[in-house]
Structure 1
Amino acid sequence: MLETLTRGFRDARNQLRGMTRLTDENVAEALRHVRMSLLEADVDLALVRGFLERVSERCNGAEVKLRAGRKEQRRQVSPGDHFTKACYEELVSLMGQAEPLAPAKHTRALMLVGLQGTGKTSTAAKLALHLKKAGERPLLVAADLRRPAAREQLQLLGGQIGVEVYSREGQDAAAICADAVIHARESGLGSVILDTAGRLQIDQELMHELEQITAQTRPEATLLVCDAMMGREAVNVARGFAEHLSLDGLILTKLDGDARGGAALSIRSATGLPIRFITVGEGTDRLETFRPEGLASRILGMGDIVGLVQDFEEVADHEQAEEDARRLLQGQFTLKDFLSQLRTLQRMGPLSDMVEKLPFAGELLPEGANIDGRELKRVEAMILSMTPEERTRPELLDRSRQERVAAGSGTKLADLGEMLKRFEGMRKLIGGLGKGGGMAGMLSRIPGLGKMLAGGMPGMDPAALRELGAGGEAPNRRAARAQKSEARRQKRKSLRKHKRRGKRH
């Protein structure tokens, strides 16, 4: 997702790596990578120029403090970090502040409009599920009377998410929508989501129909559904609809399939319309409230931890999660717990999407690496092929039992052995964290990760990483020094004891 933009900003950050100060020359060279990626992402030239000028003004002539923060929380700050911060703030400004949809206080109409093929019908279902999770009782209205099987598709989606769909015969879309609003008001429902017809291009007939629906239902919000992969053309479509309708916001669809990201960056600044939601997958649960901070962070390759936590909170049982965490840190980690964690991950959505939300994941993984979510299914099959006792006590899995599990799960014996080896490593790692060994120290014990941390995290100053790893762990470092001192004292005591014994003999 948005690989083109991420690559440009990553190259710019690498350009400044090792620099001791920001100058006109090195800032201009870094911005050259950003300019190329923005233009390749189909961002309007005028917007690109304005963005680059503002970032340049923030960086040129700025005094970069080598350390920031307070006393024990101070961190190393490099010119590259200062450049990244300037880009982040300007990206957030370009995309505008988040303006989530207000909760329904009474029965209201929400009208979705857009061209054919942008995903209006599936987006209507995603929005309905989103509102349902928020505690509303939404109603879906099949008002697309022109596309074949549009009503049947909406009814199928409504059945999958447990939301009522209003549909009846007739060719007057405005009358159907008006009747649906009356039905919702009588039934005590909240948001009435109108799935209207689209066209291959904007025409007067389409606009006349939408104007009639607006007149008869008086929607609280009219949302334009735009395909993110349209690039700059999405801006032209938004302007075309805005000439005939009073739009209240945008929903950007298929953002997960957009390698460029030009629409996400351009459309707010070009039209003045806020992006309310984005869709990042085909599932009915793959609609997110738009957060410019999260998207800017992902564009810069820094992940989106807030979004990842929100995904987890939607699927996890909080009390169970706390109990699991307590048991894990006590070293009571079994394959049964591992299976529970895997199933939580699967409910959070595609594995590739989760990995993208991890900080610097794009730099830790090889270019073109394939994140195969099916691997989780294979691991689940292995664990389910074990007996309950084997899941609790993996050490029981001798050669004979492993052959049985591999055959039952349809996997190779080597794959099962590798999974058990990784599980044992994970159990020792988590047990070590619970004993207060310190996160930085434990991470360095993971095969391959120790060398990476020693060389510095990609895009981060090694000194900053060392201080970041040590920050907040001063008690652990003091404890480690105390343990070493005690060990030396015991060693000296033991040597003295041996000397006394030698003198007696």
Structure 2
Amino acid sequence: MFENLSSRLTRTLDALRGQGRLTEDQVNTAARELRMALLEADVALPVVRDFVERVKARAVGQEVTQSLTPGQALLRIVQQELTEVLGGTAEALNLRTQPPAILLMCGLQGSGKTTTTGKLALRLREVDKKKVLVVSCDVYRPAAIEQLKIVAAGVGVEWFPSEAGQDPLAIAAAAVEYARKQYLDVLIVDTAGRTSIDGAMMKEIAALHAALNPIETLFVVDSMTGQDAAKTAKVFSETVPLTGVILTKADGDSRGGAALSVRHVTGKPVKFIGVGEKSAALEVFHPDRIAARILGQGDMLGLIEETARKVDAEAAAKLAGKLKSKKSFDLGDFREQMQQMQNMGGVESLLEKLPGGAKMQAQLQKAQPEREIKRAVAIINSMTLQERRFPDLIKASRKRRIAAGAGMEVQEVNKLLRQFDQTREMMKKLSGGGMAKLMRSLAGRMPPGMMR
């Protein structure tokens, strides 16, 4: 996420070395680099201009304390200003109203509106413990209604039926009435989109807003459209009173222009950010944490929160108890650990939240860790229960059968077994209290600078 912007800004800040004060020449050079980095990231020009001027005003003549280099001093200023551009503080959904709280989703076709409706419904159900109903008012594409029905079933929330050709206002009114009678907490209304803004669409959304009086009107936008995302959001905000923005497909956005532009252009907060295809891949937008990630500082708070939410605590406690009792770590446990990692969004998602994670991601790109995890799970699934419990039983004939069952070569089975042996040795050290020794061992295997 935002890799190009992140690497460019990091290089700019790392280039400052030596003097005990940030000189005007140093700041001007850095400002030019910042401007180029932001323009290349497709950030709106007014945002670039304001951001660079604020950084320059704060940085010229800035004293550098004994604990900071000039690069670190400027980094702190840039991080604070980035946080401000992104919105300052996270803004939660407002659900303080007579149930059902109505959330109106709007945006262009292809922005990920229906998928995001499902992700938001899942979050409200799991995190906020709300009873959620979703309804589609997109009567122009029958596939859109069916898509929302499938999405709703996948995330375990109720779907209100609608059909092509019905009046969108009548559908919305019926859904509200149903939600009230069933004592549901939240109603999410998915509206029709178009490939581009047109008068009929804007008129329909305005009419729906007037009829529903939603507590939240959320504009869903594809972050990969750059500053066009901010321009489109501005047009929508002039038609209906938006309360927030949801950026989708941020995991595929290497530039970051939309994230940095949309708040400045619309004056509306980004409330959520979509970071993957999975239903749980929707994060609260924390400006300070996103700024830290852009500058390669990681997001440890986000990682801790995600771990607490997504890791199966019961399974983790069971494994800890097993290791403590000196029972052997087996292939079933190994598979469970890999599946837990997949539940958290995979290796890349975890690395992105670690300081310096972008560099580690670049180093792992050729290794394709997500693909390797899927292959490993497939190989273990091809084994018998006895083989998973007693891996030492797996000799040549068993390896051939396992490989055939997984649709792979025997070499892949051998590779998995070697990885498992290494992990089992680490687990033995953990169970014996050798964490410090383990970390030193890991540091020795990492590329230079990765464990700093």
Structure 1 length-normalised TM: 0.80
- Could you tell me how far apart the structure 2 residues matched to 1:200 and 1:98 are? 30
Matched, 1:122 2:121: no
Query: What is the aligned partner in structure 2 of residue 477 from structure 1?
Result: none
The farther-off stretch of 412-421 and 253-262 is 412-421
Query: What is the aligned partner in structure 1 of residue 411 from structure 2?
Result: 414
Shift of 1:56: 3.5
Say whether the 8 Å CA contact 1:21–1:64 is kept in structure 2. yes
Measured at CA, do residues 261 and 166 of structure 1 come closer, stay the same or move farther in structure 2, by a change above 3 Å? same
Query: What is the aligned partner in structure 1 of residue 159 from structure 2?
Result: 165
Query: What is the aligned partner in structure 1 of residue 241 from structure 2?
Result: 246
Which structure is larger by alpha-carbon Rg, 1 or 2? 1
Query: What is the aligned partner in structure 2 of residue 23 from structure 1?
Result: 22
Shift of 1:250: 0.8
Say whether the 8 Å CA contact 2:95–2:215 is kept in structure 1. no
3-state DSSP of counterpart to 2:442:
coil
Shift of 1:376: 1.0
Query: What is the aligned partner in structure 2 of residue 469 from structure 1?
Result: none
RMSD: 2.7
- Could you tell me how far apart the structure 2 residues matched to 1:416 and 1:85 are? 48
Matched, 1:86 2:80: no
- Could you tell me how far apart the structure 1 residues matched to 2:426 and 2:363 are? 28
Shift of 1:110: 1.0
Aligned length: 445
Shift of 1:338: 1.1
Query: What is the aligned partner in structure 1 of residue 219 from structure 2?
Result: 224
Shift of 1:39: 0.5
Which one of the candidate residues 270, 288, 291 is aligned to 2:286? 291
Gaps of 5+ in 2: none
Shift of 1:87: 2.1
Shift of 1:329: 6.5
3-state DSSP of counterpart to 1:282:
coil
Say whether the 8 Å CA contact 1:342–1:376 is kept in structure 2. yes
Query: What is the aligned partner in structure 2 of residue 278 from structure 1?
Result: 273
- Could you tell me how far apart the structure 2 residues matched to 1:409 and 1:116 are? 39
Measured at CA, do residues 381 and 148 of structure 1 come closer, stay the same or move farther in structure 2, by a change above 3 Å? closer
- Could you tell me how far apart the structure 2 residues matched to 1:210 and 1:163 are? 24
Amino acid at match of 2:426: L
Shift of 1:372: 4.2
- Could you tell me how far apart the structure 2 residues matched to 1:403 and 1:150 are? 46
Query: What is the aligned partner in structure 2 of residue 428 from structure 1?
Result: 425
Q: Deviations over 1:139-191 (max 9, x none)?
A: 11121122342222222222222322223455421122112111110111121
Query: What is the aligned partner in structure 2 of residue 316 from structure 1?
Result: 311
Shift of 1:404: 4.1
Say whether the 8 Å CA contact 1:329–1:430 is kept in structure 2. no
Shift of 1:238: 1.7
Identity rate of aligned residues, in percent?
A: 40
Amino acid at match of 2:90: A
Query: What is the aligned partner in structure 1 of residue 339 from structure 2?
Result: 343
- Could you tell me how far apart the structure 2 residues matched to 1:311 and 1:66 are? 36
Q: Deviations over 1:270-321 (max 9, x none)?
A: 2110111111223333222212223222211233233333333333222332
- Could you tell me how far apart the structure 2 residues matched to 1:89 and 1:431 are? 44
3-state DSSP of counterpart to 1:369:
helix
- Could you tell me how far apart the structure 1 residues matched to 2:142 and 2:244 are? 27
Say whether the 8 Å CA contact 1:107–1:185 is kept in structure 2. yes
Matched, 1:358 2:349: no
Which one of the candidate residues 175, 187, 194 is aligned to 2:182? 187
Matched, 1:258 2:257: no
Say whether the 8 Å CA contact 2:348–2:361 is kept in structure 1. no
Say whether the 8 Å CA contact 1:140–1:158 is kept in structure 2. yes
Shift of 1:8: 0.9
Query: What is the aligned partner in structure 2 of residue 102 from structure 1?
Result: 94
- Could you tell me how far apart the structure 1 residues matched to 2:58 and 2:428 are? 46
Shift of 1:431: 3.3
Say whether the 8 Å CA contact 1:39–1:48 is kept in structure 2. yes
- Could you tell me how far apart the structure 1 residues matched to 2:65 and 2:365 are? 37
Measured at CA, do residues 31 and 368 of structure 1 come closer, stay the same or move farther in structure 2, by a change above 3 Å? farther
- Could you tell me how far apart the structure 1 residues matched to 2:70 and 2:416 are? 42
- Could you tell me how far apart the structure 1 residues matched to 2:378 and 2:384 are? 12
3-state DSSP of counterpart to 1:445:
helix
Query: What is the aligned partner in structure 1 of residue 147 from structure 2?
Result: 153
Amino acid at match of 2:190: D
- Could you tell me how far apart the structure 1 residues matched to 2:387 and 2:146 are? 48
Gaps of 5+ in 1: 68-76, 459-464, 466-505
Query: What is the aligned partner in structure 1 of residue 300 from structure 2?
Result: 305
Matched, 1:61 2:52: no
Amino acid at match of 1:115: L
Measured at CA, do residues 339 and 168 of structure 1 come closer, stay the same or move farther in structure 2, by a change above 3 Å? closer
Which one of the candidate residues 391, 394, 411 is aligned to 1:394? 391
Say whether the 8 Å CA contact 1:298–1:357 is kept in structure 2. yes
The farther-off stretch of 258-267 and 334-343 is 334-343
Q: Deviations over 1:235-285 (max 9, x none)?
A: 221221222211111111121222211010111122110111111223333
- Could you tell me how far apart the structure 2 residues matched to 1:450 and 1:304 are? 21
